[in-house]
Amino acid sequence: MAANRLDRELESREKTARKKSWSRPTVLPDPMPQDGYKFHWVRVSTMGQPDSTNVSSKLREGWEPVRAEDHPEIFSDAVDDVRFKDNVIVGGLMLCKAPLELVAERTEYYDNMAQSQMRSVDNNLMRENDPRMPLFNDRKTKVTFGKGN
């Protein structure tokens, strides 16, 4: 072996690591994760106008507002609305949480709805099908490579 090599203990990854580049901070801070919950930002106001319809629909869906005292790592804006004074609000968005089971059920519901709509579109398309000039309804893609000259 070569005699001019350094011992492994003297080498450090920190000295050879690349310098981290600056990146713009996120507009919405990420809360500390909680087991069994998913977080979501809900619009409370737009351009200073309250959006009560959106808030009430999200609360009916099962999203619960997160209290500011539960997440002190997030700086919250001063809130004019008395209903949300103890909640985490940043830029007109309120932090909410919901159990993972509820989020999974909601996702499955909307996936089923999208599949149902696609079946409806396909059925409507195939209703116009004529054996003399068939319509093709292939949703598959194929990658081919050209033969270079």
Question: What is the full per-residue pLDDT of the chain (149 aa) written as tens digits?
Answer: 566 776 766 666 666 677 788 888 777 888 888 899 999 999 998 888 888 899 999 999 999 999 888 888 887 766 666 777 888 888 888 999 999 999 999 999 999 999 999 999 888 877 777 777 666 666 666 777 777 65
- Predicted local distance difference test score (pLDDT) of residue 48: 80
- Predicted local distance difference test score (pLDDT) of residue 60: 93
- Predicted local distance difference test score (pLDDT) of residue 87: 87
Close Cβ partners of 37 (under 8 Å, ≥ 6 residues apart)? 97, 98, 99, 100
- CA–CA dist 56, 70 (Å, integer): 22
3-class DSSP state of 96: strand
- Predicted local distance difference test score (pLDDT) of residue 8: 67
- Predicted local distance difference test score (pLDDT) of residue 65: 92
98 close to 40: Cβ distance less than 8 angstroms: yes
- CA–CA dist 60, 52 (Å, integer): 12
